[in-house]
Structure 1
Amino acid sequence: MVLLSNLLTLLVSLIHIYILLLETTLWTHPAYGRKIFRMTEEFAQQTRLLAVNQGVYNGFLALGLLWGIWHPVPMVGQQVKLFFLGCVSFAGGAGALTVGRRVFWVQSVPAMVAGIAVVAWG
């Protein structure tokens, strides 16, 4: 069951790696960043540097989750996973309030499910 909680945590990490790529390299691309965030080309260009900054933070979340999965001390790894999953859940809630409800479903719900699995199985 630890494997399942690690796989769920890995899924959340992969979501944030995707968000990192989306915000740092695909923000102004018409079929990715602009379409997903429903932006005009002008607005995407104006906010490009802000998006890069956001993307870097999502990368930190992904790295923290990976650190928790592969930490050599299982109890420490569990605590690290719970901390970063909590950060992701909170960030998704903030995104839901500021960007749209879809952010809650993409970020918070998977993080909460993974967090429950980590508490239940390690």
Structure 2
Amino acid sequence: MNGQVNQWAGQPLPLSASCWIGNEHKGQLCIRLAGAVAAVKAAIPIMSAPVGAQELDPLDAEIFWNDLREQKLSSISNLGPDQTLYRLALPAACGPLQLPNASNEIAFEWHGQQRWIKADGDDATFTAIKK
């Protein structure tokens, strides 16, 4: 996911936001395009072809991006009894993190630079994050 999104980010495309929800191998990529109508319309086929994307209804898209911003998506908000939600700001090229007892599901924003990870709120997790 990060590779494709970073490739798009390096091109003159109207990419204004991206979000990956899932695990390292399987999940859902959502992108938001913004700018001149002609630029957005021209970018849709270029960006949808490599990933088999489909355009969301504008109302559904608005709900998704609002819920993401407010941390209301189930992949972020549904915590287990001993879980803590960690928000990490990382370099875009940062690879997968190995956190003890972390949830298999993760949410990436900002082309992989912001990650929402559910894991235990213990000293082992804090130590692993600091490394």
Give TM-score scaled by structure 2 length.
0.26
TM-score under structure 1 normalisation?
A: 0.28
> Structure 1 or 2: larger helix share?
1
Larger relative contact order, structure 1 or 2 (CA cutoff 8 Å, min sep 6)? 1
